Amino acid sequence: MNYKFVQNKKCEYFPCHKVGDETKFNCLFCYCPLYMLGEECGGNFKYSHGIKDCSGCTITHMKDTGFNFVQEKMLTVIDIVKENYLENHTEEENIKLK
């Protein structure tokens, strides 16, 4: 499906990660939507001076698997947001959410 794969070869950073086959490099998630998950993101990252460094991760940029991986992980994001909301709102407000 076309909406799952985008390439921007005109980008000055293309490809922003080292990959074997540039034809399969997906730019759809140029900025990783999973960054905020920290160690739960599921990607190949390291910490450099206390900052998450994702330069070694290509999981969201894979043509055939990146989109589905992000979609599955977004369920975790939704759960975290919902849990955070429930912890910080009254019971009456929480009933509206359910």
Q: How far apart are the C-alpha atoms of 36 and 28, rounded to whole Å? A: 17
Task: Quote the pLDDT of residue 68.
Answer: 95
Residue of 2, 1, 64, 77 whose CA lies nearest to 32: 77
pTM: 0.77
Per-residue confidence in pLDDT tens, the chain, 98 aa? 678 999 999 999 999 998 989 999 999 999 999 998 999 999 999 999 999 999 899 999 999 999 999 999 999 999 988 888 888 877 776 666 65
Q: How far apart are the C-alpha atoms of 32 and 92, rounded to whole Å? A: 35
DSSP, collapsed to helix, strand or coil, labels residue 23 as helix
Contact of 62 with 17, CB cutoff 8 Å: no
Do β-strands 51-53 and 46-48 pair in parallel, antiparallel, or remain unpaired? antiparallel
Contact of 43 with 74, CB cutoff 8 Å: no
Question: Domain coordinates of the chain in residue numbers?
Answer: 2-97
